Structure 1
Amino acid sequence: EQLVVGSSRRPVGSWEKDYDSFVLPLLEDKQPCYILYRLDSQNAQGYEWIFIAWSPDHSPVRQKMLYAATRATLKKEFGGGHIKDEVFGTVQDDVSLNGYKKYLISQSSPAPLTAAEEELRQIKINEVQTDVGVDTKHQTLQGVAFPIAKEAIQALEKLKNKKLNYQIDMKNEIIILANTLHTEIKDLPKRIPKDAARYHFFLYKHAHEGDYLESIVFIYSMPGYTCSIRERMLYSSCKSPLLEIVERQLWMQIIRKIEIDNGDELTADFLYEEVHPKQHAHKQSFAKPKGPAGKRGIRRLIRGPAETETPSD
């Protein structure tokens, strides 16, 4: 039993025009299969693909189990970073072009909320609308909740392809956007000021275990005592309220929060280990327990007969 290529074809038109004529003829009523369909779009690793898992309802149970068990292996061997979307279907409508587009709409739509979650969402909306939004000075978060400039909020929402720096305007007491320069990992240390504190939101693009990932990392840089006491206090106090707004109100998922005092620490290896820490297995060693105190008395030195001193003449 092994996976073999059933057929392959070269593209004729765009991926949308070719889709149904290429995919649907491969589907059999009682035979599961995998289909890898290439899109026209590309990422850092090359062309992006749709992984289609076809498992019709009337196929034998053993066939369904075999295909379900080998699904993860095939994706790993092919390279998860190449796969943009994964579609599962039991009828043709699930994996047709129309079905794929419905899948994309369902993925982009927010998950339905429970009654409690909907109530909490309304409370948060009301809080923002009643003079506690991110452009006012009346937020009630822990720490010093300086307002965030509208330009900074808009830039956060466009973080998908950029790395952003934020700084505190200490005169006007507001968090403002410093820059949105495109930054690779090798250039990241240069973006860390040596004489001023900063908040950085970095889109960390990398591969992990065969998958292409884009993870948002928050970096708080504070270059020690080259900053004034007031600057150190303000940046320290404003950090938690800023993250509260970013995570709770803007719904951004921050994978890792890092504090540094020197940009030279930000190497590719350092970031990878911070985002994907190694799991160390510690073997516990057991020391021989000591006897109860005060039970044996003072230790005595005992000599054998051969060790006794000979009396001198």
Structure 2
Amino acid sequence: MSHQTGIQANNELKKYFGKCRDGKIRVLKVSIENEQLALAKYHSVKGSFESDFDKYVPSLIVEDLPCYILYRFDSTNSLGHEWLLLSWSPDSAPVRQKMLYASTKATLKQEFGSAHIKDEMHATVKEEVSLKGYKAHVSGVNSPAPLTDREEALKELQQTEHNTNYGTDARQSTMGGISFPITESAKQGLADFKRGSYNYLQFNIDLEEEKICLSKAAVIAVTDLPAQVPSDQARYHLYLFTHTHEGDHMESIVFIYSMPGYSCTIKERMMYSSCKGQFLEIIEKLGLEIVKRLEIDDGKELTEEYLFDEIHPKRNLHRPAFAKPKGPPNRGAKRITKSQSAQ
């Protein structure tokens, strides 16, 4: 996944990411400072995973300020110790801060190494930032029922994949297109979108691998939507349009297919057009109800007014009566014809 906000880890943090995998560090706190990911605090291993949790983690959070906490498990995989990524984003934090941290999380995972992260947890109240809160999170993820929104979405998506015949020759009589499998990051993005971690997703088709990939996941304002659309490549977009209609707060999911005319190759245009139907089917089987499907060739079209009018089209309640058009000018006087009976 590409950098969502342009914010990257500073040199000190990059070096520390390599150092902290020696098994001696239990937890580190990462904050966004001066438009960079920076190391805020860290603690060494003292006891077990459970005994160190309440000793270190709650003291790292600040009530009104989001942050990331990377906490080391005692378990290992082929790459070394496994880690928990805890995203602290209190409701009392400024909206801009919450958006910034949500949009930068993918970058942090990439910088640290996603393969080292065994589990992720999102916390908004202090009670969740504890060993008890973590165990409740694990219980919700692992129990057969009820599943968390994220696990349920992933399960439904896997079932959808098993029931779909993927391949370039898998023609569907009802859809009239072809379908490509979606990558693990795309699955994760859809699950997180349903959970509310993001309000915007962008997907691209890897024409060589024949897969649908997640190219961007972020929390953005509607005014930033036009800038997300590439001017020389096709894309699929999913956006949660939050607005008010007739006094009611509404959240409408909009699917946008952007195709910038003939700057794309014929193959690219054909693939995006043909895969769209099957991809929409996967999204909707996840429980994401798409209110409006749009096709555009320029991101400038995606204004707040345009989205609103597409979702809530204006009705013409006072349709004017049909007016008979005037005849052509200078056509001369009417001809008088005699009827057959008159003759």
TM-score by length of 2: 0.45
Q: Which of structures 1 and 2 has the bigger CA Rg?
A: 1
TM-score by length of 1: 0.49
